[in-house]
Amino acid sequence: MKAPRILLAGTLAALLPIAGAFAQSAPPAQPDPATQPAQQGATFESLDTDSDGRISKQEASVNSSVTEQFSRYDKNGNGFIEKEEVSSSNTAPPAKPGQ
């Protein structure tokens, strides 16, 4: 009976370094919700997938909210949303009714 216990203890002792290596390895990267495109919280950078400094209609299509408001953000009408256009849209005070 002692032989199986010793064998088991030896096997566990031999496997401990492997278990330690697994414990130290980085877990699979989980997407950071702050940087991932979300229906309401998409960032300019997350939508600008080709990093050209502007969002095309195709890039905007992954977010229904941005797609619906594309023309509102595309102030100069060139078919792209540029960072300056988003900044001015987000900082401009809302228009008062009747103006």
Q: What is the pTM of this model?
A: 0.51
Q: What is the pLDDT of residue 43?
A: 87
Cα–Cα distance, 52 to 45 (Å, whole number): 10
Give the pLDDT mean for 50-54. Answer: 93
Within 1-99, strands assigned E span 54-56, 80-82
Q: pLDDT at residue 53 above 60?
A: yes
Q: pLDDT at residue 24 above 70?
A: no
